[in-house]
Structures are given as C-alpha cells and as structure tokens.
Structure 1
Amino acid sequence: MSNLFDALVTRDKMDFRKFLAEYRRAALALYQATGDTAYRNATLTDKSFQRWRNGDVGRPHHPTPEILNSMFGRPADELLTPCTDEQVRSLLAVADPVLDERELAMTARDARAHAAEAAAQQLPDLSLDQLEDDLVHLVRSTNTKPPHLVFMTARELLGVAMVQLDRTQVLSQRRRLYLVAGQASALLAACAFDLGAMPHAFELTRAAALYGQVAEHGPLQAYAHAYLAVLYYWSGNPSQAVRKIVEARAFPGVGATGTARLAAIAARAYAHRGQADEAQRAVAESTADRGPARDDLHDGLAGEFDFSPERVAMSNSATLLLLRDGHGAEASARRSLELGAAHAVSSKQLVVAPQARADLASALLMRNELDGAAEALGPVLALPREWRGAGLTVRVNAVRAELASPAFRGTPVAQDLAERIEDFTAVAAPKVLGPATGTSRLALEGHGG
C-alpha cells in the first residue's frame, strides 16, 4: 500500500533536502501569518520523511498537518492514509496540473539563493533587483496564468523574501523585502480566494496588511484592508466589510486608481447591507474622473493590483444586481465588455470579461430575455477549468438562480442552460480544494468577486 504523499513527492522529484526546504518555507509563511511559534521552530528528520512516504505513521501532531496542507493543499489525513495504487491515480487525476518549466525555475532559484548565501552579510543589490523583477513579472502575468500557477510562484517568492530578510539588517533593503513579501502575500490571498480557500485567503491578506504596516507603505495597506472587505462580504458579514473600507480609506498615498477600487468595493458592501443610496453614491464615485494622482502599487506595479475602468464597470454590475437594478447592471456589464474589447488585450478576456458576461446574463434574465442571457453566457461556459475561479463560479450560479423564476419553468432553453451551468461548476477551480467557507451561502445570496 502506498499513499498520496509519496505519489506527490515522487511526481515533484523531491528528495529529503528539497522537501525540507519547502517544508521550512511553508512553516515560516504560516508563522508570519499566524504568529504561532510552533511554525517558526518546525523541522523534520529524514527518518520521519521516509516513514511518511511508507505510510508507517499515525496522524502527526500540530504544526505538521497545517504545514502539509499549506504545501499540498490537501489535509494530512488524505495525504498519509494508505491507499491502493488505483486510489492514488484517482486522487492525482484531480490534483494540480504539473507546472510547466517548474524544474528549470526551481533550479534557477536554487542557484540564485546559493549565490546570495555566498555573498557578504549585506545583500547584493542585484539579488534584491532580481527578486523585485520576478515579482513584477508575476504580478503582470496574472491575466495569463491561472491561479494555481500564480500560487506556486508567489509562494516561492515569499519564501525567498523571508530568507533574505534574515540576511540583512540594512533598513532600506529590509523595507524592499517587506514590500515584496507583502505583495506576494496579497497575490497568494487572491489565489486562495479563487481556489475556494476562504480561511487561508483571510490569513494571507492579513499578512499582506502587516507587511505593509512594517514597510510603512500606505497603498499596500489600503489594498489589503479593502481585500479584507471583499472577503468579509463574501463571508456574509457586510457590516465588517464597510468598517474595513473605512479603515482602508485612511491610509495615505493612495492614487486615483486605488481610490476608484475602494469606492467600487464600498458600493458592493453597502449593497450587501441593502443600503441602496450609499451604494449608488459609491458607484458614482468609482466612475468619476480619476485625475493625475498615482501610486506605485495600483498604477506603478499594476497587473493584479490595477483596477481598470472595465474592472470597475464589472464590479459595479454585480453591485447593481444586488440592488435588483437590472437595467443599470446590464448597462454596466456592457460597458465593461466594450472597454475590454477596445483595449484588445486578449488575456483580460479570461478574467474580467467572463464575470461581466455572467452579470449581463443575470441582468437580461431579470427582464425575461432568456435567449440573450444564453448567448451572453455561452463563452463563459466554454472556459477551461483552471479559469473558473470562485468569483466567476458564484456569478454563474446566480444565473442559475435567476433561471428558477416561474417565467422560465419548463422552457427547453432554460433547462439546457441550467444543465450546462451544473456541468461548468462541477469541474470549477475551487473543486480542487473543496467548497470554501460561505461559498454555498453566497451562491444563494448574490454576487461576489
């Protein structure tokens, strides 16, 4: 009898040295996120590693289960329970896809880490430059890389930043590393959210906020607190979401793009609370002329941290749907699609456009335009599994909820569309980790993301 742990370690070509490095990196990340000293001192022997592979072990004690779950995205019981080869193959069939060029990337990072260790106590600026360049490249590739691939790279960058923080006491270098760690944590939080792991998204977002505080970086703190607001209203706590937005607005140095993002998130939080007037005012604020103010996160680094006009319009369409303003939601969703098409950036069609299309379908169903809704949703239902994140999945499920209206009962088009939606969600990205806390409730309540 083998187990899933041995299969995954074999697949990733991990000997004990490589596994221990990943194990310590994951433990440090959990320590940074939780403050639990058990993670800071976590280690492992080669003997224990081999026992895990052989299945000759009971359920390990804290903090091992949490570290293994962080590394593989699976409970320790599932990883270490003996099972047949056929069961292992079945479990691997739904595991994360093998990462392209991973071995090359790991080799390059190992070489760079070893070179940094050989350098003087003060880190060479070239090492920090390379780390920041890697982070910029990752942030700006989130529209072309699905969440599970972004997660793997962001986790490695966070680990490098934490290791390098232990190797320099130069304040300017430490601030740069805290910013990288905070931005990587923010990316990891977004990936956790997309993959349906809400508790981990909260932890990672709080870590990003704390890194921003240590670095005294207002835009990163504002971004993280606003993302906490998103997570709160997704978890059915819009009052706490509104409080987080108020906190986010207090941080200095946020440019016009970041301000528009805060307004759009505030609008959704107010809509979840049923405060229509406040929501409408925030929608208007989010679409106001942005002016010249910029900051180095939302505008400079951009990518995942950007909040383009088409993204604002997409967010506002969900807000207006919560207010049952079908005409306004339709106009906002169409505006998002028009802006995205005008930019002619095909990668954005994998992120913003599908969510806008789902909102458009819901808005059309409010006006009993079934054929139009089916046409709008068609391209969304054809998306590959890895792009079916939690935000999009909930939006698509909201379309299915609209299809339950008596106006569509017994209609072949409605029945066909509902079945296609069930097929879509059955293999959505969050299924890799299982249902997220609050996701089922949100699927019934309305829209997120």
Structure 2
Amino acid sequence: MNTVFDALVIEARMDFRSFLAEYRRVAALLYERTGDIAFRNVVLTDKSFTRWRAGQVARPHHPAPAILERMYGKPVDELFAPCTDEQAQVLRAVPTPVLDERELAMTARDARAHAADAASQLLPDLSLDQLEDDLVRLVRANTTTPPHEIFMAAKELLGLATVMLDRTQLLSQRGRLYVVAGQASALLGACAFDLSSMPTAVELMRASALYGQVAEHGPLQAYAHGYLALLYYWGGNPAQAVRQIERAHSFQGVGATGQARLAAIAARSYAHLGRTAEAHAAIDRSLADRGPAVDDLHDGIAGEFDFSVERVAMSNSTTLLLLRDGVGAEASARRSLELIASQSSASTPLAVAPQAGADLATALLMRRDLDGAAEAMRPVLSLPREWRGAGLVGRVNAVRAELASPSFRDALVARDLAEQIDDFTLVAAPRTLGPGAVRLAIDGEIG
C-alpha cells in the first residue's frame, strides 16, 4: 500500500540518508522552539523509515508526528493514509532513479575505507601468542616465585591484555584476550590472598569470573568461583562458600583435576559449617580416581591452577583438623609430605610442604605429642618471610592455639615453640608490600 508519506518521499527523490538529515534539522528547530528534550537527539532507523513508507505503522510515537507535520505541513494521520488515485498516478510518472558512475565509485570508496578501518583494528597473532606464552610461564613460575613478585608481573600482563582489547575488534582475538585477562586476574587474586588483602583478592577473583563469563570459558569460571569459596570461608562466611562451590559446579568443560579441587574446597566449607557427613563425602570425591578428563586451565597451564594429589592431601588435612579428627589429619598431612618428598621436579608449590607440616604439628599436638610437633614445625619456621603467605600463617596460628592448651602450660618446649611462632608471623609475607600497597597496585586495572 502506497501512503501519502511514501508519495511525498518519492516525489522529493529522497533516500534514507537525505530524509534523516532533514528530519534531524527540523527536530533541532522544534527543540529550540519548545525546549522539549525529545527533539534534541532524535533517533530514526532505516527499518522504521521503510515501515512508514509501506504503511505498516498507523501512527509513530512522539516526537515523530510533530516533526513530520512540520516537514510536510500535513497532519500525521493524513500522511499515513493511503494515497489518492491522483497521487498514485504521480508516483507512476516519477522515473526510477538511475545510478551514475560517480555514485558507484563513491559507494566503493566508502566500503573500502570502512574495511581498511576494520583491518587496522586487528592485532598480529604473534603478539597474542607471546602474551599467552608469558602468562603460562608466569602461572607456572608461581610455584617457585614469591607472591609479591608474581603480583607485579601479573599486573603488567593484565594491563597489556586490556590495552590489546582496545586495539582489536576481531571476536576470536577478543575471546583469547578475555581469557588471558581472566587468568591474570585469578593469579593476582591468589597473590593478594597470600599477601592478606582479602577484599582485593575477592575483587580480583570476581573480575576473573566475569572475564571467564564473557569468554564463555567454563574452567576459568569454575576456578574463580572455587577460589571465591575459599576466600569466603577464610573470611568467616562458610555458607556463602558453599553457594560459590555450587555455582562452580555448574560450568562445563572442567576436567578431573578441577573437579578434585572443587571437592577439596567444598569439604573445607562443609567442615566450617560443622556438616561432618558432607565434608567426608567431599573428601572422598577429592580422592577419587581422576580418570582421563582434562581441561586447558587446571591441566594444560597447571602451575597455580593445578591441584595435585599432594595439594589435595594437604587441603584435606586442614579439613579434618576442623572436624577435630586428629588421626585423619595426621595421616593426610603425612601423605602430602611423602608425596612431595617423592617428587623429583619443582612442580609442587614451595608453600605446600610448610602448610602440610603445620597441619601435621597441629594434629600431633591434639594427641599431646609436643616433641613431634616441634620437629614438624622446624622446616616451617625456617621458611623465608616472602613465602609466609596468609594460608600458611593461618595454619601456623592454629598450632599456636593448640599450644595454649593447659596440657602444655608448664612445658619449656611449648613456650619456646610459641615464641618462635610469634616471631615467624611478625615478619610474614603480607607485610612485604607494606600497608595499602596491594590496593594501590591494582587501582584502575579492573573495569
């Protein structure tokens, strides 16, 4: 159906671009006259223009009617009414516009210019390859490099990833960069936790989860939400930790290593809540045969993202201590230390053995073996200050709490060990960067 509006547009030989220019000009005049903000930045799409011409809209919304009436000097209802026979004859008499060579050349130049602009917003694949390689090396170095050094290097990689995101519009490249940004954020969050900056760690892990969501990367999202669970139970909110674990289990593509990690974290969350049966069931899941399922984060990159059997045993020893199962905790801590001692590589993080040692000492104190606990703490207390992260300090403080038992009140070994622990925590890793340094180090990096 031809409308009066369509007839007037054809008669004036206007295309969408020329019509839009006139439409905006009239809208600006009406804004100056009325002050109605609706006229200031009017929006009209090619699709709406086509529907108006075809008579598919009875009456457009404000401010379109006022603009059209000003443009054509007719009420809008008349403009969208079917055209008369006389107007139809006029339409048939209007010749079909013929494109000349200049118009064709202009269209080609516009297309070429737009394509060139799009091509300029690509990154060399080699640059992305290098960034990903640097990230992998850093994640793997985290097992043998102090957290404050990893933090500064990961901060630089996150900055590079965000800069590169601004320089490419290619979806495949942006997807890779979002994954790198998420991995760097996760690494930063783990370091922030070691440095006892809990709010910073939570913020960075949330950023990691969001990057993983944008990239649709299940293992990264599972890792971030699992770490958030860990942060929540360390922060005294085990109920929220359980919810984070449930969320982590919803993501696809997580291999057996990642599943074992989530099970170990779940066990600790349940233990904090006193849900003994569920904690033991989660421990059993963490120890199950892992099978062939792998993913590119926990198994491919590994390093900080790995969760080896010795780490599982160490984590479970802490869980069993929370359940006051000293026998089980001792066996699990010894299992972790035995596995570490049997390793010929440096793949196990240097902090795992001290954490298992501290758990072993606590378990031994629960059965009043003071000399055995002091022996277990010997290598722990000799650890350099940069490796005394929050997780280890928490376990060492658990040993200190056991030493406060009336059973050890008059024991010289207990007093000496307590003093050594006080000296140990006084110069722990969280003090390495100084007050507020972690917070300042990431300002402006997380959008």
Q: Quick check: TM above 0.5?
A: yes
Q: Does 1:310 pair with 2:310?
A: yes
Q: Does 1:428 pair with 2:419?
A: no
1:137/1:158 CA distance change after superposition, 3 Å? same
Q: For residues 156 and 435 of structure 1, what CA distance do their matches in structure 2 show?
A: 21
**Counterpart in 1 of 2:261?**
261
CA contact (8 A) 2:221 2:248 kept: yes
Q: Does 1:401 pair with 2:391?
A: no
**Structure 1 residue 351, shift from structure 2 partner:** 1.6
- Of structures 1 and 2, the one scoring higher in RCO (CA 8 A, sep 6+) is 1
**Counterpart in 2 of 1:135?**
135
| Aligned AA (1:200) | T
| Aligned AA (1:380) | V
Q: For residues 411 and 418 of structure 2, what CA distance do their matches in structure 1 show?
A: 11
- Match runs of 1:260-299 below 5 Å: 260-299=260-299
Q: Does 1:232 pair with 2:239?
A: no
Q: For residues 123 and 350 of structure 2, what CA distance do their matches in structure 1 show?
A: 39
**Counterpart in 1 of 2:387?**
387
Q: For residues 431 and 137 of structure 1, what CA distance do their matches in structure 2 show?
A: 26
1:121/1:299 CA distance change after superposition, 3 Å? same
**Structure 1 residue 125, shift from structure 2 partner:** 0.5
Q: For residues 312 and 233 of structure 1, what CA distance do their matches in structure 2 show?
A: 17
Q: For residues 434 and 274 of structure 2, what CA distance do their matches in structure 1 show?
A: 30
- Match runs of 1:26-425 below 5 Å: 120-346=120-346, 348=348, 350-425=350-425
**Structure 1 residue 433, shift from structure 2 partner:** 5.6
The number of equivalent residue pairs is 318
Q: For residues 290 and 435 of structure 2, what CA distance do their matches in structure 1 show?
A: 38
**Counterpart in 2 of 1:440?**
none
| Aligned AA (1:312) | V
Counterpart secondary structure, 1:212: helix
Q: For residues 377 and 155 of structure 2, what CA distance do their matches in structure 1 show?
A: 34
**Structure 1 residue 175, shift from structure 2 partner:** 0.5
Q: For residues 236 and 433 of structure 1, what CA distance do their matches in structure 2 show?
A: 25
CA contact (8 A) 2:311 2:352 kept: yes
The alignment-based identity, stated in percent, is 75
CA contact (8 A) 2:148 2:432 kept: no
Q: For residues 414 and 344 of structure 2, what CA distance do their matches in structure 1 show?
A: 32
**Structure 1 residue 120, shift from structure 2 partner:** 4.3
1:433/1:349 CA distance change after superposition, 3 Å? closer
Q: For residues 433 and 141 of structure 1, what CA distance do their matches in structure 2 show?
A: 19
| Aligned AA (1:218) | G
| Aligned AA (2:200) | H
Q: For residues 238 and 185 of structure 1, what CA distance do their matches in structure 2 show?
A: 23
Q: TM-score, normalised by structure 1?
A: 0.70
Q: For residues 165 and 346 of structure 2, what CA distance do their matches in structure 1 show?
A: 38
**Structure 1 residue 121, shift from structure 2 partner:** 2.7
> Per-residue CA shift, 1:36-72, capped at 9, x if unaligned?
xxxxxxxxxxxxxxxxxxxxxxxxxxxxxxxxxxxxx
| Aligned AA (1:420) | Q
Q: For residues 344 and 313 of structure 1, what CA distance do their matches in structure 2 show?
A: 18
Counterpart secondary structure, 2:348: helix
CA contact (8 A) 1:340 1:349 kept: no
Larger C-alpha radius of gyration, 1 or 2? 2
Q: For residues 346 and 295 of structure 2, what CA distance do their matches in structure 1 show?
A: 26
Q: For residues 304 and 236 of structure 1, what CA distance do their matches in structure 2 show?
A: 24
1:384/1:374 CA distance change after superposition, 3 Å? same
Q: For residues 178 and 435 of structure 1, what CA distance do their matches in structure 2 show?
A: 31
> Per-residue CA shift, 1:17-38, capped at 9, x if unaligned?
xxxxxxxxxxxxxxxxxxxxxx
**Structure 1 residue 144, shift from structure 2 partner:** 1.1
Q: TM-score, normalised by structure 2?
A: 0.70
CA contact (8 A) 1:197 1:435 kept: no
Counterpart secondary structure, 2:141: coil
Unaligned runs of 5+ in 2: 1-118, 437-447
**Counterpart in 2 of 1:444?**
none
**Structure 1 residue 397, shift from structure 2 partner:** 0.7
Unaligned runs of 5+ in 1: 1-118, 437-449
CA contact (8 A) 2:386 2:432 kept: no
> Per-residue CA shift, 1:119-159, capped at 9, x if unaligned?
94310001000000000000010011100000000000000
CA contact (8 A) 1:228 1:244 kept: yes
> Per-residue CA shift, 1:251-294, capped at 9, x if unaligned?
00000000000000000000000000000000011000000000
**Structure 1 residue 350, shift from structure 2 partner:** 1.9
Q: For residues 181 and 347 of structure 1, what CA distance do their matches in structure 2 show?
A: 24
| Aligned AA (1:125) | D
| Aligned AA (2:135) | L
**Structure 1 residue 299, shift from structure 2 partner:** 0.4
